[in-house]
Amino acid sequence: MQALLKLSRGVDWLNERVGLVVIWLILASTVISGINAIVRKVFNYSSNGFLEVQWYLFAAAFLLASGYTLLHREHVRVDVVSSRFSKRTQIWLDVFGFVVFLTPMCAAVLWFGIPFFLQGYQSGEMSSNAGGLIRWPVYLMMPVGFALLLLQGWSELIKRIAFLKGLVPDPTVKLDEKTAEEELAESIRRLAEAAKGDGNAATQAD
């Protein structure tokens, strides 16, 4: 189990690094969109290549950051039912989901996506739009993105099994989420600061 946890930490590190890099693709897409708008308005010129590179960057950000999103527990969850269960039952539901749904889905995308990318790469497929871009770079994002998601899914699976064995803390708590004790301490600190500020104001008024 310790070896698997070490593998899990390695996958977490990888997706953390990927997420921190991919976030810049959003900025790049925004800058290109702004430049494209300015050039179209000022010089009355535009190109399908400008539009497509924005789509490529957005697709890359969306797909490559999927593992990072799962790492930070930011995927959409429907907890109306599961929140009524005990923590161990919730963990078992996650285990079931990772094994029965996430793994086969990612495997299917890789099974069909890798040949799809290779075909586009070997043929040098270009966009059908005038002035469009070559297609294989965006095709590559599908297998890479789902491979990262699959690895992160396995990492989360390892952490949940380790939790059931009592080896790690609750892996479902968000990484930046404060505990109830921390929230209470923060509230007390704010109240103390507010009371201190009121006392100082009263003293100055006297």
Contact 27, 111 (CB under 8 A): no
Exposure string for 157-196, b = 16+ CB within 10 A, e = fewer: bbbbbbbeeeebeebbeeeeeeeeeeeeeeeeeeeeeeee
Distance in angstroms (rounded) separating the CA atoms of residues 69 and 74: 5
pLDDT score at 206: 55
pLDDT above 60 (res 34): yes
Model pLDDT, residue 165 = 85
Model pLDDT, residue 105: 94
Question: Which pLDDT score is estimated for 187?
Answer: 62
pLDDT (mean) for 135-163:
92
Q: What is the dihedral of CA 161, 165, 167, 169, to 10 degrees?
A: 70
Answer yes or no: are the C-beta atoms of 22 and 60 closer than 8 Å.
yes
Considering the chain, what is the average pLDDT of its residues?
82
Residue 93's pLDDT is 87
pLDDT of residue 174: 67
pLDDT of residue 121: 87
pLDDT band at 143 (very low <50, low <70, confident <90, very high): very high
pLDDT one-digit tens code per residue, 109-118? 999 999 999 9
Unique residue bearing structure tokens 């946890």:
5
**In the chain, % of residues over pLDDT 90:** 26
What pLDDT is stored for residue 29 in this prediction? 84
User: For the segment 65-88, what is each residue's pLDDT rounded down to a tens digit?
Assistant: 999 988 888 877 766 777 777 888
What value does the mean pLDDT take over residues 156-184?
73
Average pLDDT (28-51) is: 81
| Residue for token pair 């494209």 | 36
Contact by Cβ (8 Å): 111, 30: no
How do the domains of the chain map onto residue ranges? Answer: 2-183
